[in-house]
């Protein structure tokens, strides 16, 4: 971690992802740095001073723990923006939804989320989503590695 903290890289944006597949398949983008967040261990990223000076994006799962991890990262790096952790991404990929283990869900208040992130988190936490068949979907989870490549490319062109 000390070596990473001392680096001075010519980067334009930093992306933190929880999934190795996403990092390996990340499309070309001008001068990015990709970091693996390693779940709740990403607290260590707060010890890297140059991250506070860079545009920083966190790409986690759209589930209760994805938002809990984002919340925790913001405690160290308040300027971090969520990436593809929104209702549009979730709804666009409904056929790829999964289930979060009931005994592993986060249900506490997350105070570091933006209003739109908090609204989505609460809807997930409170099982407010319905599937295409209009049936309630309990413990909804959408894993980041299932985001379609063209959806990711379109997002990156907009930032």
Domain range enclosing 146: 2-158
Helices 115-125 & 64-76 angle (0-180, nearest 10)? 150
Tell me the per-residue pLDDT of 49-108, one tens digit each, with 9 for 90 and over. 888 888 999 999 999 999 999 999 999 999 999 999 999 999 999 999 999 998 889 999
CATH assignment at residue 137: 3.40.1360.10
Give me the DSSP letters along 26-64.
PPP-SSEEEEE--GGGGGGGGG-GGGGGS-EEEE--BSH
pLDDT of residue 10: 76
Q: Give me the chain's average pLDDT, please.
A: 90
pLDDT of residue 39: 65
Number of structural domains (the chain) is: 1
């Amino acid at each position: 971690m000390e070596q990473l903290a001392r680096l001075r890289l010519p980067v334009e944006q930093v992306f933190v992802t929880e999934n190795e597949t996403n990092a390996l398949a990340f499309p070309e983008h001008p001068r990015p740095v990709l970091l693996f967040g390693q779940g709740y261990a990403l607290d260590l990223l707060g010890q890297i001073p140059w991250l506070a000076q860079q545009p920083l994006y966190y790409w986690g799962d759209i589930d209760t723990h994805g938002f809990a991890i984002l919340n925790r990262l913001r405690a160290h790096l308040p300027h971090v923006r969520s990436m593809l952790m929104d209702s549009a991404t979730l709804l666009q990929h409904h056929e790829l939804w999964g289930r979060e283990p009931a005994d592993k869900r986060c249900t506490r208040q997350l105070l570091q989320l933006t209003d739109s992130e908090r609204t989505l988190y609460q809807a997930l936490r409170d099982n407010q989503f319905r599937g295409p068949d209009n049936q309630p979907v309990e413990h909804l989870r959408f894993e980041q590695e299932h985001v379609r490549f063209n959806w990711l490319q379109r997002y990156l062109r907009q930032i």
